[in-house]
């Protein structure tokens, strides 16, 4: 195991984050504040409470999930796509590293960034609403697993993508709709019954639900199922990455 | 002398069926500069890519410093530095961080003193805090070399080090390579400039259509195949070569204005005196005579031509 290489990749990726620190931090903070103004204050004033939690507080877990997923995904996919695009991938391929070190470096850095931004949103949210976190370990576990699994997913997209359009395709066409339909801003119990069934096919529902359970102790689906879902998703991504590693798919000719 | 890089029957066939390497075998000695010479698409870059791990060979084996590049890839690759043909660099990175990154990636512990010395040797030290995008093309190429040398490799690959580089920078590059040789690094470079191979390399390998046509000491190659040509300008144009002179290797050029005589400088007799005497006897008057050494370019073209002819005969 070439830990020095993992460190080198991780540092280089984090350096990019630091270089663009202001925009990395400011844009999620601003958009979170906007969500609070729109959903929390404007719409929330009419919704009042969802299952005993003020609407403003209710949307916080979903909001964090929304941002963490998109950030982990886009950071990891861009992180590995960029060297492919500008050609510096030659260095990774010729280095004494296996795919494992490359993944640890890129996915680790992307997950770290996403985690950091997630925590920033949590802090920002605490200025707007009174937050309670009933189960800290579960909250951290869900947050970490989401950061890691979506960074892995992003890494796969970055490997797969042949151009910038493809790089944007999955986040735009798949992830964003799933996240918005995943109960970030509402409880799926508020949906008509038929749609509730449909929603159960959306993996994001399980993540948001489990994460919300860690905050308020209430969930759309049993928390064990949520844990299984995120565990399963992580496993699926790991298997896909393992397969890429075995076959050298899209990397080594 | 031990072989630093051992290439045995390496083949590379791409999925579409294109065979880029057709069983290349070659031993590269420790500390030498070897030039792989060949036209575009000959398989030079594919061969380098196969050694460095960028492409997986479909046949044969490669050892670097005794380590198999597939099975013991970590040990093999840790000994290798690669300077790619294109200026591929992360534009927003500083020179210093780029070199540090490469060193870490190749599994070497941080050593600022080594990197400082390296950047100084490449006249990059005063640019160490500049972003790479601020540098000129020549400087960027130096950064690529610095990255390739950041982990103190034993073998350095330079893929077309002077492609698209102006004359001054090319001389610069030659000096850098000569200085690197002094440090004991084994250097393999690819080029399609014959002049370059001649100026830098201890040995030259000629590669064409995925095959290594020959590998020879640069001087020996020049001497062995170094034929000379004599150009005899005539006062009166000739319609054909006089029959008395048919034994000589002569041909007419410039619509009969000049006779070209090819001869081997190493042969016991060059036949020049007899040939000129025969010319005079035949009544041909000579206006001027000049001789020229055939360049590596001629040798190369000749080799490829020979091989193609052989292929044609076989078919």
B308 domain residue, yes or no: no
> B84 and A252 in contact by Cβ < 8 A?
no
Higher pLDDT, B103 or B309: B103
pLDDT of residue A32: 80
User: Pick from B161, B188, B223: which residue ends a domain?
Assistant: B223
The beta-carbon neighbor of A7 closest among B52, B92, B104 is B104
- DSSP run (H or E) holding A211: helix A203-216
B66 domain residue, yes or no: yes
Name the A residues in 64-83 with CB < 8 Å from any B CB: 82-83
* Residues in chain B within 8 Å Cβ distance of A8: 100-105
CB B107 within 8 A of CB A5: yes
Phi, psi of A27 (to 5 degrees): -65, -45
Statement to judge: residues B66 and B138 lie in one domain:
yes
pLDDT digits (tens, 9 = 90+) for B270-279: 788 888 888 8
> A12 and B107 in contact by Cβ < 8 A?
no
pLDDT digits (tens, 9 = 90+) for B12-53: 999 888 999 999 999 999 999 999 988 888 899 999 999 999
To the nearest whole Å, the CA of B148 is away from the closest chain A CA by: 9
Cβ-count burial of A18 within 10 angstroms (0-12 exposed, 13-18 middle, 19+ buried)?
A: exposed
Question: Looking up tokens 């020879």, which residue turns up?
Answer: B216
CA separation (Å) from B77 to A9, A191, A208, B109?
17, 58, 45, 16
* Residues in chain B within 8 Å Cβ distance of A97: 74, 105, 107
Statement to judge: residues B273 and B144 lie in one domain:
no
Which of A13-17, A42-46, A153-157 comes out lowest in average pLDDT?
Answer: A42-46
Q: What percent of chain B has pLDDT over 70?
A: 92
CB A251 within 8 A of CB A93: yes
* Residues in chain A within 8 Å Cβ distance of B55: 252-253
Greatest alpha-carbon pair distance for chain B in Å reads 79
Q: What percent of chain B has pLDDT over 90?
A: 49
Statement to judge: residues B250 and B197 lie in one domain:
no
Which of A22-26, A94-98, A117-121, B70-74 comes out lowest in average pLDDT?
Answer: A22-26
Cα–Cα distance between B50 and A248 in angstroms, integer?
14
Cα–Cα distance between B158 and A174 in angstroms, integer?
44
Statement to judge: residues B56 and B178 lie in one domain:
yes
CATH number of the domain enclosing B289:
3.30.70.1560
Cα–Cα distance between B13 and A160 in angstroms, integer?
23
To the nearest whole Å, the CA of B213 is away from the closest chain A CA by: 25
> A5 and B104 in contact by Cβ < 8 A?
yes
* Residues in chain A within 8 Å Cβ distance of B53: 93-94, 252
CB within 8 Å of B51: residues ≥ 6 apart: B5, B7, B62, B64, B69, B80, B157
For the segment B213-233, the average pLDDT, to the nearest whole number, is 81
The beta-carbon neighbor of B53 closest among A4, A15, A93 is A93
Statement to judge: residues B288 and B144 lie in one domain:
no
B304 domain residue, yes or no: no
Question: Looking up tokens 């009544």, which residue turns up?
Answer: B283
For residue B267, give its domain range: 227-293
Statement to judge: residues B26 and B160 lie in one domain:
yes
| Chains A, B: CB pairs < 8 Å | 85
CB A116 within 8 A of CB A19: no
Statement to judge: residues B190 and B261 lie in one domain:
no
- DSSP run (H or E) holding B13: strand B3-13
Q: Which residues of B touch A (CB under 8 A)?
A: 14, 52-56, 73-78, 80, 82, 84, 86, 88-93, 97, 100-109, 147
pLDDT of residue B208: 85
Question: Looking up tokens 């025969």, which residue turns up?
Answer: B278
CA separation (Å) from A150 to A71, A142, A236, A238, B314?
9, 12, 11, 11, 59
Statement to judge: residues B249 and B132 lie in one domain:
no
Higher pLDDT, A9 or B244: A9
- Which residue of A lies nearest to B72 if distances are taken between CA atoms? A96
Tokens of B208: 């064409």
CA separation (Å) from A238 to A37, A98, A147, B73?
38, 15, 14, 23
- DSSP run (H or E) holding B158: strand B155-159
The pLDDT of residue A84 is above 60: yes
Higher pLDDT, A84 or A27: A84
Statement to judge: residues B174 and B124 lie in one domain:
yes
- Which residue of A lies nearest to B86 if distances are taken between CA atoms? A87
Tokens of A164: 């910038």
Residue among B179, B175, B190, B178 nearest B52 (CA): B190
Statement to judge: residues B280 and B204 lie in one domain:
no
* Residues in chain A within 8 Å Cβ distance of B74: 2, 96-98
Residue among A150, A121, A134 nearest A213 (CA): A134
pLDDT of residue B214: 87
Tokens of B93: 């990175």
Cβ-count burial of B293 within 10 angstroms (0-12 exposed, 13-18 middle, 19+ buried)?
A: exposed
pLDDT digits (tens, 9 = 90+) for A145-194: 999 999 999 999 999 998 999 988 888 888 888 888 888 888 888 888 88
B275 domain residue, yes or no: yes
B301 domain residue, yes or no: no
Please, what is the average pLDDT of chain A?
88
Please, what is the average pLDDT of chain B?
87
Cβ-count burial of B309 within 10 angstroms (0-12 exposed, 13-18 middle, 19+ buried)?
A: exposed
pLDDT of residue B262: 81
pLDDT of residue B33: 95
Cα–Cα distance between B217 and B229 in angstroms, integer?
23
pLDDT of residue B12: 94
B163 domain residue, yes or no: yes
Statement to judge: residues B242 and B262 lie in one domain:
yes
pLDDT of residue A92: 92
pLDDT digits (tens, 9 = 90+) for B96-152: 999 999 999 999 999 999 999 999 989 999 999 999 999 988 899 999 999 999 999
CB A252 within 8 A of CB B54: yes
Task: Provide the number of structural domains found in chain B.
Answer: 2
Statement to judge: residues B218 and B116 lie in one domain:
yes
Question: Looking up tokens 């102790």, which residue turns up?
Answer: A217
User: Pick from B223, B253, B268: which residue ends a domain?
Assistant: B223
Residue A51 pLDDT level (bands cut at 50, 70, 90) = confident
B314 domain residue, yes or no: no
pLDDT of residue B297: 62
CATH number of the domain enclosing B81:
3.40.50.300
> A87 and B86 in contact by Cβ < 8 A?
yes
3-state secondary structure of B22: strand
B310 domain residue, yes or no: no
The pLDDT of residue B315 is above 70: no
> A4 and B91 in contact by Cβ < 8 A?
no
User: Pick from B179, B207, B223: which residue ends a domain?
Assistant: B223
pLDDT digits (tens, 9 = 90+) for A197-253: 888 888 889 989 999 999 998 888 888 999 898 889 899 999 998 888 888 777 776
Cα–Cα distance between B267 and B290 in angstroms, integer?
19
For the segment A31-60, the average pLDDT, to the nearest whole number, is 80
> A86 and B108 in contact by Cβ < 8 A?
no
């Amino acid at each position: 195991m070439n830990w020095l290489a993992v460190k080198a990749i991780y540092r280089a990726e984090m350096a990019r984050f630091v270089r663009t620190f202001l925009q990395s931090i400011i844009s999620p903070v601003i958009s979170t504040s906007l969500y609070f103004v729109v959903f929390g204050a404007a719409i929330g004033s009419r919704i009042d409470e969802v299952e005993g939690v003020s609407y403003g507080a209710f949307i916080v877990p979903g909001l964090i999930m929304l941002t963490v997923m998109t950030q982990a995904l886009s950071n990891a996919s861009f992180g590995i796509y960029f060297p492919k695009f500008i050609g510096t991938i030659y260095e990774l391929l010729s280095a004494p590293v296996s795919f494992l070190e490359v993944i640890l470096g890129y996915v680790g850095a992307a997950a770290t960034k996403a985690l950091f931004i997630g925590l920033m949103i949590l802090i920002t949210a605490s200025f707007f609403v009174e937050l309670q976190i009933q189960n800290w370990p579960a909250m951290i576990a869900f947050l970490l697993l989401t950061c890691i699994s979506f960074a892995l997913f992003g890494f796969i997209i970055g490997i797969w993508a042949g151009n910038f359009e493809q790089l944007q395709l999955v986040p735009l066409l798949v992830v964003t709709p799933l996240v918005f339909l995943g109960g970030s801003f509402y409880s799926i119990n508020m949906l008509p019954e038929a749609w509730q069934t449909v929603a159960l096919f959306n993996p994001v529902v399980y993540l948001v639900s489990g994460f919300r359970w860690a905050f308020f102790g209430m969930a759309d689906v049993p928390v064990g199922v949520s844990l299984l879902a995120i565990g399963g998703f992580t496993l699926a991504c790991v298997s896909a990455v393992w397969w890429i590693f075995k076959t050298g798919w899209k990397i080594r000719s | 002398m031990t072989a630093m890089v051992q290439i045995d029957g390496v083949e590379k066939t791409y999925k579409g069926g294109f065979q880029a390497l057709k069983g290349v075998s070659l031993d590269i000695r420790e500390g030498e500069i070897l030039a792989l010479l060949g036209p575009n698409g000959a398989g030079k870059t594919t061969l380098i890519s196969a050694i460095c791990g960028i492409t997986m060979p479909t046949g044969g084996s490669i050892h670097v410093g005794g380590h198999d590049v597939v099975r013991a890839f970590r040990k093999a690759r840790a000994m290798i530095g690669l300077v790619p043909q294109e200026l591929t660099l992360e534009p927003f990175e500083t020179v210093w961080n780029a070199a540090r990154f490469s060193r870490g990636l190749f599994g070497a512990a941080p050593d600022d003193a080594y990197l400082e010395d390296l950047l100084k040797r490449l006249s990059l030290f005063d640019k160490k805090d500049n972003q790479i995008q601020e540098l000129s093309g020549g400087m960027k190429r130096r950064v690529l070399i610095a990255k390739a040398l950041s982990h103190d490799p034993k073998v350095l690959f330079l893929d077309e080090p002077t492609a698209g580089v102006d004359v001054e920078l090319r001389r610069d590059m030659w000096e850098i390579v000569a200085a690197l040789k002094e440090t004991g690094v084994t250097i393999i470079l690819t080029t399609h400039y014959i002049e370059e191979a001649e100026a830098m390399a201890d040995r030259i390998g000629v590669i064409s259509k995925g095959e290594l046509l020959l590998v020879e000491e640069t001087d020996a190659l020049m001497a062995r195949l170094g034929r000379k040509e004599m150009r005899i300008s005539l006062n009166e144009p000739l319609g054909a070569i006089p029959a008395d002179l048919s034994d000589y290797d002569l041909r007419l050029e410039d619509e009969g204005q000049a006779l070209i005589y090819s001869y081997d400088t190493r042969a016991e007799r060059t036949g020049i005196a007899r040939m000129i005497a025969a010319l005079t006897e035949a009544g041909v008057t000579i206006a001027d005579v000049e001789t020229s050494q055939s360049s590596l370019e001629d040798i190369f073209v000749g080799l490829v031509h020979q091989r193609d002819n052989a292929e044609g005969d076989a078919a």
